[in-house]
Amino acid sequence: MTVGSEITRGLIQDTNSNWIANKLTSHGVLVKRIISVPDEKEEIKWALRSCLEIAELVVTTGGLGFTHDDITVEAVADALGLKLVLSIEALNMIKSRVRGEVTYQVKAAYIPEGSRPLYNRVGVSPGVHIVVGSKSIFLLPGVPGEMKAIFEDYVEPLVSQSGVYSRTIIVKTRHTYESQVDRLLEPLRSKYTWAYFKTHAKTPVEITVIVRANSLLELEERVNALIIDLQRTLEVQSVETIF
Amino acid sequence: MTVGSEITRGLIQDTNSNWIANKLTSHGVLVKRIISVPDEKEEIKWALRSCLEIAELVVTTGGLGFTHDDITVEAVADALGLKLVLSIEALNMIKSRVRGEVTYQVKAAYIPEGSRPLYNRVGVSPGVHIVVGSKSIFLLPGVPGEMKAIFEDYVEPLVSQSGVYSRTIIVKTRHTYESQVDRLLEPLRSKYTWAYFKTHAKTPVEITVIVRANSLLELEERVNALIIDLQRTLEVQSVETIF
């Protein structure tokens, strides 16, 4: 979820969702929905509910700052029926990041009851981690540098413990027509349900393959079996692992 | 709505939604939701319903091609309870864009009953325009060049007749703190409900203002009144109209 009217009004290109989707995919997480909404309480609440209805993990960016339209924390708390309370831990994090006295920045120390503030080593506003049953919600700032730091410090350690492993491979073929490659791939799609195949309309055609497994050993075995089968099925020029 | 697992898996940066949001905003359209979903029928159907529940206009990109995972037209028809029928008009459009015989490309000539194919002067797959009551749904290809051509040929003429006019202005101030500018803007936000103010945490602070009106004359009057008030309220360095 990316929050900000500057996104829905097309004033800035949202790059956060792509960065996060890429990171989550590399850890074997299947991203089902990316939603951008304006700085409007009802839309933020709708987006959160829409994510929670199908996902175990929700990551939001944007709306954690100190201005009038930064309402993500308030809207999320409201959607979950939680009160905002002053977190001394969050306040101390803010104090450590502000030169001089904390004034208007105190706003960012009010987080949903029971949630945990996440130290922001790049900016001022802490992130927030909310646990709802088996589900985790992470609220991150919209500034890419701050978002990435908190993601790496807190979200990545969590998802890397998920027990799911993933490898992304680029296969360059000698084929000219995407539709031909697509037809040739059909039996592999049925056989390898743990793999995702995406053909690209380049000449010659390229395929991105994402393989998922429950252990590193299984991942190696699956990648090897798949590459052998791809070489039998298609005219393969090269295979490259990207992450 | 942007459709494609390559987006939700973070393999490519979706730039279509930013381009479309920018265009729609420049025509006075308020964009409420941007949703990206994978090439999965249930997710596409959910996204369409989520857009239709609040919008008069829905634009989708992606999934109009000829491969296995291009299922947008089918999923949208399914969500609306419409059958796919062979459109001779669409077939002729495809024929005029294909060198040699039309084979697998015939797929793109099957569009929802009652809908209109939109000529693609850059690629092969026609776009699709579906009218549901007072609402319009446009299905566009995911390739940016093709999407932009069909958008400019068919969507833009429609939205430019909406009778809503919009101007976007960048105001450079001499202020250092975004939170100070935010507080000073508070009375203007209450007074000018037809304007949107977005402060940017640059030094000095910049503000993007979007003004909407129901005629060009009203737009001029509103922009002029607003600029005078901004100059009274803030230390303004420059005002620039961007679109």
Domain with CATH 3.30.70.260 in chain B: 165-241
Checking if the pLDDT of B243 tops 80, the result is: no
Give the sign of the dihedral formed by CA B72, CA B74, CA B78, CA B80: positive
In whole angstroms, give the CA distance from residue A170 to residue A222: 15
Checking if the pLDDT of A213 tops 80, the result is: yes
Complex prediction ipTM:
0.89
Q: What is the pLDDT of residue B164?
A: 86
Q: What is the pLDDT of residue A202?
A: 83
Checking if the pLDDT of A94 tops 90, the result is: yes
Q: Please, which contacts does A210-216 make with residues 24 or more away whose CB atoms are closer than 8 Å?
A: A210/A25, A210/A166, A210/A167, A210/A168, A210/A169, A210/B9, A211/A166, A211/A167, A211/A168, A211/A169, A212/A28, A212/A164, A212/A165, A212/A166, A213/A164, A213/A165, A213/A166, A214/A163, A214/A164, A214/A165, A215/A163, A215/A165, A216/A165
This prediction has a pTM of 0.89
- The answer for residues whose C-beta is within 8 angstroms of residue A146's C-beta and 6 or more apart is A120, A122, A123, A125, A140
Q: What is the pLDDT of residue B108?
A: 96
Q: What is the pLDDT of residues A133-187, one digit of tens each?
A: 999 999 999 999 999 999 999 999 999 887 888 899 999 999 998 889 999 999 9
Checking if the pLDDT of A211 tops 80, the result is: yes
- Cβ–Cβ below 8 Å for B186 and A11: no
Q: What is the pLDDT of residue B68?
A: 81
Closest-CA residue to A39 (of B30, B173, B36): B30
Band (pLDDT 50/70/90 cuts) for residue B241 is confident
Which amino acid, B166? S
- Does residue B237 contact residue B175 with C-beta atoms inside 8 Å? no
B143 chain-A contacts, CB cut-off 8 A: 201
Select the more confidently predicted residue: B77 or A26. B77
- Cβ–Cβ below 8 Å for B68 and A186: yes
Q: What is the pLDDT of residues B98-110, one digit of tens each?
A: 999 999 999 999 9
- The answer for residues whose C-beta is within 8 angstroms of residue A211's C-beta and 6 or more apart is A166, A167, A168, A169, A192, A194, A195, A219, A222, A223, A226
In whole angstroms, give the CA distance from residue A198 to residue A188: 12
- Cβ–Cβ below 8 Å for B6 and A208: yes
Weakest mean pLDDT among A198-207, B71-80, B144-153: A198-207
Weakest mean pLDDT among B18-27, B183-192, B193-202: B193-202
| CA B178 to chain centroid | 29
B69 interfaces chain A, CB cutoff of 8 Å: yes
Q: What is the pLDDT of residue A179?
A: 87
Q: What is the pLDDT of residue B230?
A: 94
Q: What is the pLDDT of residue B90?
A: 98
In whole angstroms, give the CA distance from residue A135 to residue A57: 6
Q: What is the pLDDT of residue B179?
A: 87
Domain with CATH 3.40.980.10 in chain A: 2-159
**H-state helical runs in chain A:** 5-8, 16-26, 41-52, 72-80, 88-97, 144-150, 156-159, 178-191, 216-233
- Cβ–Cβ below 8 Å for A36 and B43: no
In whole angstroms, give the CA distance from residue B127 to residue B107: 13
Checking if the pLDDT of A243 tops 80, the result is: no
Q: What is the mean pLDDT of residues B203-210?
A: 92
Q: What is the pLDDT of residue B13?
A: 96
B206 interfaces chain A, CB cutoff of 8 Å: no
What CATH number was assigned to the domain covering residues A165-241? 3.30.70.260
- Cβ–Cβ below 8 Å for A18 and B6: no
Architecture of domain A2-159: 3-Layer(aba) Sandwich (3.40)
B23 interfaces chain A, CB cutoff of 8 Å: yes
Query: Tokens 């800035």 correspond to what residue?
Result: A12
